[in-house]
């Protein structure tokens, strides 16, 4: 697939904004994935290339959270292994789905995911503190299940990780955010590898988006606070509205 300047002009600025949002509240994929589609990429290329750019941005945010001591090593190892396995399985399944069918899946699934991500949540609610052993046992199904989703589709993965790690595993918000980043990086790597092996990654575009995503993630991680949600909702709504208009008109026009 050949690249044009419009691909970079549409995707890179949105990747920067998505990086800020992803570091603050998760859900940056709700912006980057539609951005690739808005630029005209087929679904498999959009997902595969997005994994490259998103992975670079996530790695930067993870580095800051690790430096700040938000990652527990024992739980991290379990999450990484299970997330890798789940994401590889999900990506393999995704490669079996036709591009046109994937487009329909996006129309059906993305509004539901967007509603759930944008819905107010009390991530920092006080919960019973579980033992390390119980936390590890609960991390296994959480990391594998969200890994499958991220490999297959991916939008909103960070928010789902954060929700389950705080609500099910009972991690505090800061540790859950750090664990979300390390798990999400693992799912990105596994899915990226599968799409790369199937020739569905545009390196130049993915790396360019990754640089903008890194800048956004760095800024977002530095200002990680609840006030960031004021930025998240309006930007997501604008991008999602443009995306739905584009993809629906494409199907109506028989693209």
Among 72-76, 94-98, 192-196, name the most confident range. 192-196
User: Among residues 43, 25, 14, which one has the least CA distance to residue 116?
Assistant: 25
Q: CA dist 52 to 19, 160, 165, 175, 207, Å? A: 13, 20, 25, 25, 7
pLDDT in tens, 97-139: 887 787 777 777 777 777 766 665 665 667 787 888 899 999 9
pLDDT digits (tens, 9 = 90+) for 22-64: 766 666 777 888 889 888 898 889 999 999 988 887 787 788 7
The better pLDDT of the pair 160, 189 is held by 189
Paired tokens of 110: 């993305």
């Amino acid at each position: 697939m050949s690249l044009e300047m419009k691909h970079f002009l549409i995707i890179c600025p949105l990747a920067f904004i998505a990086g800020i949002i992803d570091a603050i509240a998760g859900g940056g994929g709700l912006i980057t994935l539609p951005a690739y589609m808005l630029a005209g990429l087929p679904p498999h290329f959009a997902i595969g290339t997005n994994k490259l750019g998103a992975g670079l941005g996530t790695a930067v945010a993870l580095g800051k959270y690790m430096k700040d001591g938000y990652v527990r090593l024992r739980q991290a190892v379990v999450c990484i292994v299970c997330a890798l396995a789940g994401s590889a399985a999900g990506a393999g399944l995704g490669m079996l789905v036709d591009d046109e069918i994937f487009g329909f899946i996006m129309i059906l699934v993305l509004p539901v995911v967007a509603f759930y991500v944008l819905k107010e949540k009390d991530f920092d609610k006080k919960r019973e503190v579980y033992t390390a052993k119980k936390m590890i046992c609960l991390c296994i199904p959480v990391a594998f299940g969200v890994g499958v989703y991220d490999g297959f589709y991916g939008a909103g993965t960070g928010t789902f990780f954060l929700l389950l790690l705080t609500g099910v595993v009972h991690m505090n918000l800061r540790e859950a955010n750090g664990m979300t980043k390390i798990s999400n990086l693992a799912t990105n790597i596994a899915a990226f590898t599968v799409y790369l092996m199937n020739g569905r990654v545009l390196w130049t575009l993915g790396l360019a988006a990754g640089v903008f995503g890194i800048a956004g993630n760095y800024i977002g991680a530095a200002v990680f606070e609840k006030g960031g949600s004021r930025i998240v909702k309006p930007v997501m709504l604008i991008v999602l509205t443009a995306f739905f208009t584009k993809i629906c008109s494409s199907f109506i026009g028989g693209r």
